[in-house]
Amino acid sequence: MLGTGLIKGMVETARNFVGSYHDEARLTTVQYPEEKVPPKENGRNFPFLVFDGDDAQAGLRCVACQICEKECPPQCIYIVKSKDKKPDYAGKPQLYPVTFDIDVSVCMSCQICVEVCPFEAIKMDQVFELSTTDRFDKLLLKKTDLAKPNTYFHQLHPTDAAEIDARLADEKRKAEEKAKAAAAAKAAADPAKAAAPAAPVANVPPVGGDATKPSPPAS
Ligand code: SF4
Ligand code: SF4
């Protein structure tokens, strides 16, 4: 019947209105900004950069591959690569971003940057209170504004973060086993070198946000 949906909607509104006086579950609004509804796990707003350990610069997962910059539909990511390298989570020397800016006044929260990143380095934040009268400086987020610890990622998206931590730890373990096997094979081929002291292992930020793990050194 014409108008049935409209009547059903009005009945539901009336039930919520009357019910809200005696049943909290019917109270569908809160007194914002004093009260806030907790965001859903899959809620998203603008991207941020994940780092492991306690040092945002040494632990940044981003290797400045610029895939996200190329794929971002409105082209609101700007990256400048480093000239030198630092070890990534698996100890492999990688470039890092000297500059990493996102213009959030242009970002459309599509999450494509997250989906194309091969290094689990960029994820979606849930902060939405970014209103400002300064369109240019305050909405152009720099690397220092964007870098947030893995523990923060766990708070926002625990399921995703736990799965990624397990996968990265597994990749790191495999890389270490491969390096050990290569060193053993080399030593077997040249016993004279095997007697020489081992080269120092790269100091790598721990994967995951466990504050009990050792802190990485400042870069
Ligand atoms: S969420 Fe979309 S628009 Fe925003 S920076 Fe990522 S790719 Fe670009
Ligand atoms: S965030 Fe990911 S895709 Fe973007 S430059 Fe860094 S590593 Fe590459």
Total residues belonging to the chain: 219
Mean pLDDT of the chain: 86
Q: Are residues 27 and 20 in contact, defined by beta-carbon separation less than 8 angstroms?
A: yes
The minimum-distance atom of ligand 1 relative to the CA of 74 is 3
Please choose, from the candidates 76, 49, 54, the residue with its C-alpha nearest in 3D space to the C-alpha of residue 64: 49
Q: How far apart are the C-alpha atoms of 72 and 108, rounded to whole Å?
A: 10
Nearest alpha carbon, ligand 2 atom 3: 117
CA-wise closest residue to 51 among 180, 173, 143 = 143
Residue nearest to atom 2 of ligand 2 (CA): 117
**CB contact at 8 A, 45 and 127:** yes
Ligand 2: residues with CB < 6 A are 62-68, 79, 117, 119, 121-122
Task: Say what the pTM is.
Answer: 0.78
R_g over Cα of the chain: 24
For ligand 1, the distance from its centroid to the CA atom of residue 88, given in whole angstroms, is 24
Query: Hey, what long-range contacts does 64-70 have (CB within 8 A, 24 or more apart)?
Result: 64/95, 64/96, 64/97, 64/98, 64/100, 65/95, 65/118, 65/119, 67/116, 67/117, 67/118, 68/112, 68/113, 68/116, 68/117, 68/122
Provide the CATH number for the domain formed by 47-151 in this structure.
3.30.70.3270
Domain boundaries, the chain: 47-151
Condensed to tens digits (0 to 9), the pLDDT of residues 127-163 reads: 989 989 988 888 999 999 999 999 999 999 999 999 9
User: What's the rounded Cα separation, in Å, for the pair 122 and 48?
Assistant: 6
- Return the residue whose CA atom lies nearest to atom 7 of ligand 2: 62
Tens-place pLDDT, residues 44-96: 999 999 999 888 988 999 999 999 999 999 999 999 999 999 887 777 899 99
